[in-house]
Chain A
Amino acid sequence: MLQQYVKVDAPVVVLRGVRVIDGTGAAARENQTVVLDGGKIAAIGPASLKAPKGATVLDLAGHTVLPGLVGMHNHLFYTASPNLDAHGHSEPPRVIPEMPFTSPRMYLAAGVTTMRTTGSMSPYADLGVKKLIDTGKMIGPHLDVTGPYLDGAATPFFQIHPLTGPDDARRMVNYWADMGATSFKAYMHISRAELAAAIEEAHKRGIKVTGHLCSVSYPEAVAAGIDNLEHGFTANSQLDPDRKPDVCSPGATRRTLAAMQPDTPEADALIKLLVDNKVAVTSTLPVSEQGVPGHAPLDPRAMKAMTAEAREAYLYNRNLRNTAPGNRGAADSDRQLRTDMALQKKFFEAGGLLVAGPDPTGNGGVLPGFGDQRGVELLVEAGFTPLEAIRIATLNGATYLGLADRIGSLAVGKNADLVVVKGDPSKTIGDISKVEIVFKDGVGFDSRRVLDSVTGRYGQY
Chain B
Amino acid sequence: MTIGTPEAAAKAVDFYADQGATSFKAYTNLTRAELGAAIQAAHRRGLKVTGHLCSVTLREAADLGIDDIEHGFMAASDFKANKQPDLCPGGGTSEAELAADPAKADALLDYLVQKKVAYTSTLAVRDTARNSPGIEVYAPDVRALFENNRRQPKSSPDAPMPSGLKQLVGFAKAFYDKGGLLLVGTDPTGGGGVVPGFANHTEIENLVQGGFRFEEAIKASTLNGAAYLGRAEKIGTVAAGKQADLVLIAGDPSTDVRDVRKVEIVFKEGVGYDPKKLIDAVRGKAGLY
Which A residues fall within an 8 A CB radius of B?
80, 82-83, 91, 95, 97, 124, 161, 171, 175, 179, 307-309, 456, 459-460
Residue B285 interfacial (CB < 8 Å): yes
In the docked arrangement, what's the CA distance between A175 and B285, Å?
A: 35
Q: How near does chain B come to A438, taking the closest CB pair, in angstroms?
A: 27
Q: Is the CB of B141 within 8 A of A456?
A: yes
Residue B239 interfacial (CB < 8 Å): no
Q: Is the CB of B141 within 8 A of A91?
A: no
Q: How near does chain B come to A201, taking the closest CB pair, in angstroms?
A: 14
In the docked arrangement, what's the CA distance between A308 and B143, Å?
A: 14
Q: How near does chain B come to A313, taking the closest CB pair, in angstroms?
A: 10
In the docked arrangement, what's the CA distance between A307 and B140, Å?
A: 10
Contacts of B282 in A (CB 8 A): 83
Q: How near does chain B come to A203, taking the closest CB pair, in angstroms?
A: 21
In the docked arrangement, what's the CA distance between A142 and B281, Å?
A: 40
Q: Is the CB of A459 within 8 A of B285?
A: no
**Size of interface on B: residues with Cβ below 8 Å to A:** 16
Q: How near does chain A come to B180, taking the closest CB pair, in angstroms?
A: 33
Q: How near does chain A come to B217, taking the closest CB pair, in angstroms?
A: 33
Q: Is the CB of B15 within 8 A of A460?
A: no
17 other A-B residue contacts (CB within 8 Å) besides A83-B282, A309-B288, A460-B139 = A80-B289, A82-B285, A82-B289, A83-B281, A97-B288, A124-B1, A161-B19, A171-B15, A171-B18, A307-B141, A308-B140, A308-B141, A309-B139, A309-B284, A460-B141, A460-B287, A460-B288
Q: How near does chain B come to A420, taking the closest CB pair, in angstroms?
A: 33
Q: Which of B140, B287, B288 contacts A80 (CB 8 A)?
A: B288
Q: Is the CB of B285 within 8 A of A309?
A: yes
Residue B142 interfacial (CB < 8 Å): yes
In the docked arrangement, what's the CA distance between A460 and B288, Å?
A: 6
- 26 intermolecular pairs with C-beta atoms under 8 Å apart: A80-B288, A80-B289, A82-B285, A82-B289, A83-B281, A83-B282, A83-B285, A95-B289, A97-B289, A124-B1, A161-B19, A171-B15, A171-B18, A175-B11, A307-B141, A308-B140, A308-B141, A309-B139, A309-B284, A309-B285, A309-B288, A456-B141, A460-B139, A460-B141, A460-B142, A460-B287
In the docked arrangement, what's the CA distance between A41 and B243, Å?
A: 70
In the docked arrangement, what's the CA distance between A91 and B285, Å?
A: 12
Q: Which 9 A-B pairs have the closest CB atoms?
A: A95-B289, A80-B289, A124-B1, A175-B15, A97-B289, A161-B19, A82-B289, A309-B288, A460-B141
**Which B residue's beta carbon lies closest to that of A96?**
B289
Contacts of B139 in A (CB 8 A): 307, 309, 460
Contacts of B287 in A (CB 8 A): 460
Contact with A along B129-146 (1 / 0, CB 8 A): 000000000011110000
Q: How near does chain A come to B248, taking the closest CB pair, in angstroms?
A: 24
**Which B residue's beta carbon lies closest to that of A131?**
B2
Q: How near does chain B come to A168, taking the closest CB pair, in angstroms?
A: 8
Q: Is the CB of B288 within 8 A of A307?
A: yes
Contacts of A456 in B (CB 8 A): 141
Q: How near does chain B come to A93, taking the closest CB pair, in angstroms?
A: 9
The B245-288 residues at the A interface (CB cut-off 8 A) are 281-282, 284-285, 287-288
Q: How near does chain A come to B53, taking the closest CB pair, in angstroms?
A: 20
In the docked arrangement, what's the CA distance between A459 and B140, Å?
A: 13
Q: Is the CB of B281 within 8 A of A91?
A: yes
In the docked arrangement, what's the CA distance between A82 and B15, Å?
A: 31
In the docked arrangement, what's the CA distance between A307 and B287, Å?
A: 12
Contacts of A459 in B (CB 8 A): 288
In the docked arrangement, what's the CA distance between A456 and B144, Å?
A: 13
Most buried by B among A124, A175, A456: A175
Contacts of A179 in B (CB 8 A): 1
**Which B residue's beta carbon lies closest to that of A127?**
B1
Contacts of A91 in B (CB 8 A): 281
**Which B residue's beta carbon lies closest to that of A124?**
B1
In the docked arrangement, what's the CA distance between A97 and B285, Å?
A: 13
**Which B residue's beta carbon lies closest to that of A456?**
B141
In the docked arrangement, what's the CA distance between A91 and B1, Å?
A: 31
